[in-house]
């Protein structure tokens, strides 16, 4: 069961860190696009909306699933702790606390990935709505 500790530490936690970089990277790319987009280039609303919303679903997916991935790490860490307690029969509290700390670390990392991802998603979605409204005002069309 020692492989489980490594799986939680290196698999789940580093996986969450990687997802965090993806989320922030996409958010930066989208922000730069929104700053320099030329709304006059688009003749119809749907093509503009497709360009503006591209990749936003990835940020939302990362933000909504990161807590669950962290929870998976928590469950694995607690399982590891109980397994070690059962195998050894008698354990000192130090070993128990190390296993529980590993479990809580996975939860904390999951939340640290999810919260900024959801905030970034909402900020970018608001910017998309503003750009869409500006396009509609310039072109004299109402949204569908």
Three-state DSSP class for 89? coil
Q: What is the mean pLDDT of residues 16-41?
A: 96
The CA distances from residue 87 to 79, 83, 107, 121, in Å, are: 12, 6, 25, 45
Q: How confident is the model at residue 130 (pLDDT cuts 50, 70, 90)?
A: very high
pLDDT of residue 89: 77
Tens of pLDDT along 90-118?
Answer: 677 887 888 788 888 989 999 999 999 99
The residue assigned the tokens 């409204």 is: 133
The three-state DSSP-derived secondary structure of the chain is CHHHHHHHHHHHHHHHHHHHHHHHHHHHHHHHHHHHCCHHHCCCHHHHHHHHHCCHHHHHHHHHHHHHHHHHHHHHHHHHHHHHHHHHCCCCHHHHHHHHHHHHHHHHHHHHHHHHHHHHHHHHHHHHHHHHHHHHHHHCCCCC
Q: How confident is the model at residue 141 (pLDDT cuts 50, 70, 90)?
A: low
Q: Is the CB of residue 113 less than 8 Å from the CB of residue 48?
A: no
Three-state DSSP class for 42? coil
pLDDT of residue 142: 60
Q: How confident is the model at residue 56 (pLDDT cuts 50, 70, 90)?
A: very high
Instruction: Report percent pLDDT > 70 for the chain.
Output: 95
Residue 6 has pLDDT above 80, yes or no: no
């Amino acid at each position: 069961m020692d492989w489980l500790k490594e799986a939680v530490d290196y698999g789940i936690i580093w996986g969450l860190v990687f997802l965090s970089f993806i989320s922030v990277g996409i958010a930066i790319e989208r922000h730069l696009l929104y700053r320099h987009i030329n709304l006059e280039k688009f003749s119809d609303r749907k093509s503009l909306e497709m360009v503006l919303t591209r990749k936003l679903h990835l940020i939302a997916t990362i933000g909504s699933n990161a807590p669950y991935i962290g929870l998976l790490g928590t469950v694995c860490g607690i399982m590891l702790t109980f397994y070690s307690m059962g195998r050894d029969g008698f354990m000192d509290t130090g070993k128990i606390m190390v296993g529980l700390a590993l479990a809580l670390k996975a939860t904390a990392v999951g939340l640290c990935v999810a919260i900024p991802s959801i905030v970034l998603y909402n900020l970018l979605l608001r910017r998309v709505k503003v750009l869409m409204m500006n396009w509609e005002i310039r072109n004299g069309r109402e949204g569908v």
